[in-house]
C-alpha cells in the first residue's frame, strides 16, 4: 500500500506516463501527416530536397552481403548479441540479458522505381516492418540459425537480427541529393550509370523513414493509428488519476 501512503509518488508516475504518451502521440501524428502530405516522386524526376520514394530493393553492385550472426544473405543488416545473467533453467522471455555487441552494415542499397535507381544510405533511419529474427544458442558467436530458432529455454546467448532483402517493396522518406561525390562510388560500381542520386538522413529537422512492404497510404495510416492509440492511453491515465483523487 505504498502508493496510498505516498500519493505524490503515484501522481508523479501517472504524470510521467502521461507525458510520454503525449510526446509519442505528437510524434506519430506528425509523421503520419507528413507522410500523407508529401507526394511520391519518381527517381528520374526527383530534385534535391526532402522527398518520398517508393520502389523495390536492389543490391549495390548486384552483390549480396552476409549477416554476421545468422549467415543470411541480404542487402542490409542490423544485429544485437546478448548474454544471459539468469539461470539456464529460466525461460528465455523471463531472463535478464546483457548486451555484448551490436552493429549494422555500412553498405547501402539501391531503390528501383522503374524510372531509375537511387542509392539509400540508411545511417540514422527509422525502420519499420523489417524481417526480424530472434534466436538462442550456446555458441559464441553462432554459426547460423538453428533449425528451431525460437526455443523456449534456449542457450545462454540471445541473437537478434533485422534484415533487408532484394526485391522487397520499400518506402523511403529522406533527403535526396544528386551530389557527384556522394554518388561516385556507387556510379563506379554500376556500369550502366543508372544511379540518379542518393537518399540520406535530413538531420534532426525531419524524420528519415525506411519502411518495407507497405505503400505511402498504409504507412501514413499506421502512424496516425499509433497516435490515436497513444491518446486513448492518455485518457485512461487521466481517468485513473481523476478516479483516485475522487476517492481521497
What local confidence, expressed as pLDDT, does residue 169 receive? 94
The stretch 166-191 carries a mean pLDDT of: 72
Cβ-in-10-Å burial (0-12, 13-18, 19+) of 63 comes to exposed
**Confidence (pLDDT) at 152:** 47
pTM for the model stands at 0.76
| All three cell numbers of 157 | 546467448
pLDDT of res. 31: 86
**CA dihedral sign of residues 196, 202, 206, 208:** positive
6-10, 135-139, 174-178, 193-197: which is most confident:
174-178
Give percent of the chain with pLDDT exceeding 90. 33
CA 124 from centre of chain: 10
Q: What does the pLDDT read at residue 146?
A: 59
Residue 119 has pLDDT above 70, yes or no: yes
pLDDT higher than 80, residue 115: yes
Q: Where are the domains of the chain?
A: 10-234
CB 109 within 8 A of CB 75: yes
Instruction: Read off the C-alpha cell for 42.
Output: 519518381
- The arithmetic mean of pLDDT across residues 81-87, rounded, is 79
In angstroms, rounded to a whole number, what is the distance separating the alpha carbons of residues 56 and 81? Answer: 29
Peptide linkage before 141 cis (omega within 30 of 0): yes
Characterize 216-232 residue by residue with b for buried, 16 or more Cβ atoms within 10 angstroms of its Cβ, and e for exposed.
beebbebbbebbeebbe
Q: CA-to-CA distance for 36 and 30, rounded, in angstroms?
A: 10
φ/ψ of 22, rounded to 5, equals: -60, -45
Q: How much is the pLDDT for 63?
A: 87
pLDDT above 80 for 181: no
Model pLDDT for residues 13-58, shown as the tens digit of each residue: 888 999 999 999 998 998 888 888 888 899 988 889 999 999 999 9
142: left (phi over 0), alpha (psi -120 to 50) or beta: beta
pLDDT of residue 144: 64
For residue 99 the three cell numbers come to: 548486451
Identify the three-state secondary structure at position 238: helix
- Most confident region among 98-102, 138-142, 181-185 by mean pLDDT: 98-102
pLDDT tens digit string along 214-234? 887 888 888 899 999 999 999
Residue pair 171/209 in contact by the 8 Å Cβ criterion: yes
Of 49-58, 60-69, 99-108, 139-148, the least confident: 139-148
What average pLDDT is seen over the chain? 82
Residue 12 pairs in a beta bridge with: none
Amino acid at each position: 500500500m505504498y502508493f496510498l501512503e505516498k500519493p505524490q509518488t503515484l501522481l508523479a508516475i501517472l504524470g510521467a506516463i502521461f507525458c510520454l504518451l503525449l510526446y509519442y502521440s505528437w510524434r506519430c501524428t506528425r509523421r503520419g501527416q507528413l507522410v500523407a502530405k508529401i507526394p511520391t516522386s519518381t527517381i528520374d524526376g526527383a530534385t534535391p530536397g526532402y522527398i518520398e520514394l517508393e520502389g523495390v530493393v536492389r543490391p549495390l553492385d548486384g552483390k549480396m552481403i552476409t549477416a554476421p550472426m545468422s549467415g543470411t544473405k541480404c542487402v542490409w543488416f542490423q544485429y544485437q548479441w546478448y548474454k544471459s545473467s539468469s539461470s539456464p533453467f529460466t525461460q528465455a522471455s523471463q531472463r535478464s540479458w546483457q548486451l555484448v555487441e551490436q552493429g549494422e552494415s555500412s553498405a547501402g542499397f539501391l531503390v528501383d522505381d522503374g524510372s531509375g535507381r537511387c542509392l539509400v544510405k540508411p545511417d540514422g533511419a527509422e525502420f519499420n516492418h523489417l524481417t526480424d529474427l530472434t534466436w538462442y544458442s550456446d555458441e559464441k558467436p553462432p554459426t547460423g540459425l538453428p533449425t528451431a530458432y525460437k526455443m523456449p529455454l534456449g542457450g545462454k546467448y540471445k541473437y537478434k537480427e533485422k534484415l533487408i532483402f532484394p526485391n522487397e517493396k520499400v518506402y523511403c522518406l529522406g533527403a535526396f541529393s544528386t551530389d557527384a561525390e556522394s554518388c561516385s562510388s556507387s556510379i563506379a560500381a554500376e556500369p550502366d550509370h543508372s544511379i540518379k542520386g542518393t537518399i540520406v538522413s535530413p538531420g534532426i529537422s525531419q524524420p528519415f523513414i525506411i519502411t518495407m512492404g507497405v505503400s505511402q497510404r498504409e504507412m501514413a495510416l499506421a502512424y496516425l493509428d499509433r497516435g490515436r492509440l497513444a491518446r486513448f492511453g492518455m485518457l485512461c491515465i487521466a481517468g485513473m488519476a481523476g478516479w483516485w483523487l475522487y476517492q481521497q
